[in-house]
Structure 1
């Protein structure tokens, strides 16, 4: 059986958080994080207090790379009014900060923003590995 190799990926929300590094030191402090969330919202809301789900899709496309990337507007819209406010976006992103801050020091490093997943080694033969069906003996 082939040993899985690790695949490092950055979730769309992690890419947005990395972009909040305003001083370019490769670290995102909580202050940079909070300012980045606010800046991203203000850029998409055009000064309005809230955005609808289409406006949130515009925000998501710009900051997460895709209109359908997570978090979805349904996760962010805490009061169910079909509008997203800065406070709602900040509350949802605060959960991401806590999840990514593995060492709980209040600073996000690039290594904390990566997700490691095992994947099957390329070049294996079809049918090898965990999903292989047992062969019938005749």
Structure 2
């Protein structure tokens, strides 16, 4: 007997990844001209694009309503991917196939890590407990909370831009108005050190 699941019933079973982005994150995407460096103007333009993407309902602010809308969109896309025949419901056979496909992809990724000699590193990441993963997301959430300067539980475009440029300035170690790959690497090292210090048990 095929057991059918409605979209609403399936929603509780889907894994929703929180949409929490660090404003102004320095990376290759911000390097509009491809010269290997990110200027302050490029960082500001990237922040504008990121804000527009996160402001799902286009009301000029980022708040829980946007995260809920993005989560619903992800769930709808996942439902459509599982609903192979597109009839608006998911049979047990479709659900089982989805699970088998995910397992196969995980196995493939594991094989690739092993081939690259990174299996041990993957296991270490896999052993991280929920607390550490939560701490990482919590840190990002903290960054977003800092962007909310007026404490209204929402982030305006101006607040997002201000946070983005503050992060740019923090990355721009020599204050020449541009961030190089070396400066980004150095800042990532500082972030990792801070996360490690935060995650370390008291007394260590």
TM-score for both structures, normalised by structure 2: 0.42
Aligned counterparts of 1:28 and 1:87: Cα–Cα separation in 2: 20
Structure 1 gaps of 5+ residues are 1-11, 59-65, 120-130, 132-138
For the residue of structure 2 that corresponds to 1:78, the secondary structure is: coil
Aligned counterparts of 1:100 and 1:24: Cα–Cα separation in 2: 18
How do 1:68-83 residues align onto structure 2 when only pairs under 5 Å count?
A: 68-70=138-140, 71-83=142-154
Partner of 1:134: none
Aligned counterparts of 1:14 and 1:26: Cα–Cα separation in 2: 20
Query: Is 2:31–2:37's contact at 8 Å kept on the other side of the alignment?
Result: yes
Partner of 2:177: 106
Partner of 1:20: 30
Q: 1:56 to 1:78 in 2, by over 3 A?
A: farther
Q: Which has the higher contact order (CA 8 A, sep 6+)?
A: 1
**Higher helix proportion:** 2
For the residue of structure 2 that corresponds to 1:16, the secondary structure is: coil
Structure 2 gaps of 5+ residues are 1-20, 71-135, 194-203
| 1:48 equivalent in alignment to 2:119 | no
| Displacement after TM superposition at 1:16 (Å) | 3.0
TM-score for both structures, normalised by structure 1: 0.60
Query: Is 1:56–1:84's contact at 8 Å kept on the other side of the alignment?
Result: no
Structure 1 stretches of 4+ moved >6 Å:
none
**Higher strand proportion:** 1
Instruction: State the structure with more CA Rg.
Output: 2
